[in-house]
Chain A
Amino acid sequence: MTQTDRHTPIVEIRNVTKRIGSKTIIENLSFDVPRGEVFGFLGPNGAGKTTTIRMMVGLMSITGGDIRIGGYSIRTHFEQAIRHVGAIVENPEMYKFLSGYHNLVHYARMIPGISSDRIQEVITLVGLENRIHDKVKTYSLGMRQRLGIAQALLHKPSVLILDEPTNGLDPAGIRELRDHLRRLTREDGISVIVSSHLLSEMELMCDRVAIIQNGKLVDVRQIGEYVQAEERQRVAFELEPLDQAKRMLEEADVEAVTDGRELVVNFDKPQIADWNKRFVEAGIRVYGIRSTAKSLEDQFLEMTGSDPIA
């Protein structure tokens, strides 16, 4: 059975295209989501993240290409494919006039083989025991988010898809969500796909990130790769006098930029030490040396440019 094979990706996206009218929203998108990872889906607003997620869960039709989940095509074998998926698309909308518990019961009824024990289990998992019998309209956004996750986990999915899960959560809530997702991937071996336009958050949450822009895939990389992609690092020297230091660098044919306070250069580790020595020997006062490793944000903006929203 495909599900037991740890090496096949849980979600395969193949040449997916979405057109609405004459407008192409997603163009020829292909990537895989490996099992047991938190997979980030990154892109500026309007890049097509939500559209792609909606196509993954069958809320939107696919114009061309195919999406396979657990080996089943979402187009032709919807019921088998969606069985592997638990999802929250945008906000976790629940029936506000029902209690959290009855919301779960309602969704459980639509999937065969969910016992009341399982419902209790997910409630404990998301930590809603105390409020589960209250009406959903009395819940805070964080509690609704937890209920949304409970709902998505009911049928023990192999992949959890969360669209903009941190929207509207406070820092504590975001941290809690992050720990939750980490635990789910580590303990239950399920994959998580999260979309976001918040880079710093993705950096902390994900093992791997796909970046899309204007409906096209820009890059898929592991998070570690992003930050330490370059052997040389950008280093800022705080010096006085700046001009003299700059001249020295120019004479040695080293490119340096200054903002009037600091000198920024691309150095590897030995170079940093060597140049520090040379500056001191030349009588330049060195106040500080600081690594300015490119953040994911810088790299992201570099990659996607600052194009207007398509």
Chain B
Amino acid sequence: MGLLLIAIVVTYAIFSHAGANPDHDWRAAARATIEHNQQEINNPDLPVKYKINMREEMALQQYALDHQLPPMETTLWGGVQRGAGLIQIITLFTVIIAGDMVAGEFTWGTIKLLLIRPATRAKILASKYAATLLFAAALLVTLFVSALIVNGILFGFQNIGLPHLQVLADGTVHESSMLLYVLATYGLKLIQLVMIVTLAFMISTVFRSSSLAIGLSIFIMFMGQVITFFFMRYSWGKYFLFANTDLTLYLEGKPLEEGMTMGFSITVLIFYFLLFNILSWEIFRRRDIAA
């Protein structure tokens, strides 16, 4: 699966790189943006909200021009950042592993030999859960490193020291570590991965059926957004797991529904996380192994 993942990363990077215009002159584009925004700001009909955004944009572009910093999208970091979308693939792979993790032992009958070792059931389940998450972690490291190398080859490594630019509240431009910024993006995407994998693990433990665990989890993973959209019509929709998995919405300041906060979403996520794990644990601990 690791090799398959690397192959996907390479293909994805090559295609997205081919889509980028190689002759693109970012300096000219930046100047054009600044000029355009300058005019728009003078437009009296435009709401203040947009003008603030434009001013920030101008400050960023100007800073980039002054310090000779190409925009992220034209460097290897852009490629690595886009690679975060491939975490979906990792989720898919890990769900397959998680779905078979406990159910497989039941299917093979090896659960009997496993549970008569001098280890409590809690220990055995915990190590299986840990192994699942380690598998995801290994794939994640593979993804990040291979994305960095492949995009480095495609875009060149010369911009690896590029800082991440951000406009602070006082209007000044602040430089921060690009590596941390990209890692944060990966980290936020991880939340969905952990939740879906935990769900698959729970179904695998409770229903002892790997096909049910894998099928249902993948279905929920792909349909999550649609179901969320549907549920949001009701007042209880915001308590749905997938209404809360995308925390980047709060960073961008546009929550799914008025009144939802980062704190609320984190609480809901923790609730589901504990619910899945406690269900797996309690049922696994009490189950009579009869098959």
Listed in ascending order, the chain A residues whose CB lies under 8 Å from chain B are: 20, 54, 57-61, 78-80, 82-83, 85, 87-96, 107, 110-111, 151, 155
Contacts and interface: CB of A to CB of B under 8 A. Distances in A.
Nearest to B112: A89
B289 interface: yes
Contact of A59 (B118, B120, B286, B288): B288
Q: How large is the interface on B (under 10, 10 to 19, 20 to 34, 35 or more residues)?
A: 10 to 19
A1 B218 CA distance: 54
A60 B113 contact: no
B108, B112, B116 — which one has the most chain A CB atoms within 10 A of its CB?
B116
Q: Which 6 pairs between the two chains have the least Cβ-Cβ distance?
A: A93-B109, A59-B289, A110-B117, A60-B288, A89-B112, A83-B118
A61 B120 CA distance: 13
B119 interface: yes
A83 to B, nearest CB: 5
A49 B109 CA distance: 19
Chain A interface main SS type: loop
A291 B120 CA distance: 55
Contact of B113 (A58, A93, A96, A155): A93
Of listed B109, B115, B118, B290, residue having the most chain A CB within 10 A: B118
B235 interface: no
Contacts of B286: 61
A93 B118 contact: no
Given A59-B289, A60-B289, A60-B290, A111 B110 contact: no
A111 B112 contact: no
Given A85-B116, A87-B116, A96-B108, 6 more contacts: A20-B288, A58-B116, A59-B116, A59-B288, A78-B120, A91-B109
Interface string B118-146: 11100000000000000000000000000
Contacts of A79: 118-120
Nearest to B288: A60
